[in-house]
């Protein structure tokens, strides 16, 4: 453990956790906010709070 503290992997883990974790936090803990609105009707997608989070994905599916 003494050698692991002074290794590059230790600092990389801290950099990845504190720098990238806040950006991926909503996707890890609230995935239904980004996935569930795809299966909603089109009018509910536009009016719901979750709909504007993934507005590009439903619009691409409805265009097909």
For 8-25, the pLDDT digits (tens) are: 545 555 555 555 555 555
Apex CA 50: angle with CA 44 and CA 53, to 5°? 120
Domains: count for the chain: 2
Q: Are residues 36 and 64 in the same domain?
A: yes
Looking at residue 64, what is its pLDDT?
54
Domain span including residue 39: 32-64
Q: Are residues 22 and 39 in the same domain?
A: no
pLDDT of 36-49, one tens digit each?
Answer: 555 555 554 455 45
Looking at residue 57, what is its pLDDT?
53
Q: Are residues 26 and 1 in the same domain?
A: yes
pTM of this structure: 0.14
Q: Are residues 7 and 26 in the same domain?
A: yes
Of 19, 24, 21, whose CA–CA distance to 34 is shortest? 24
Q: Are residues 56 and 39 in the same domain?
A: yes
Q: Assign residue 48 a region: left if phi > 0, alpha if psi is -120 to 50, beta otherwise? A: beta
Using pLDDT thresholds of 50, 70 and 90, give the confidence band for residue 63.
Answer: low
Q: Which residue has the tokens 């691409």?
A: 60
């Amino acid at each position: 453990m003494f050698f692991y503290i002074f290794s590059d992997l230790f600092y990389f883990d801290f950099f990845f956790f504190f720098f990238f974790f806040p950006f991926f936090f909503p996707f890890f803990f609230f995935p239904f906010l980004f996935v569930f609105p795809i299966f909603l009707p089109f009018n509910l997608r536009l009016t719901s709070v979750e709909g504007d989070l993934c507005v590009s994905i439903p619009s691409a599916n409805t265009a097909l």
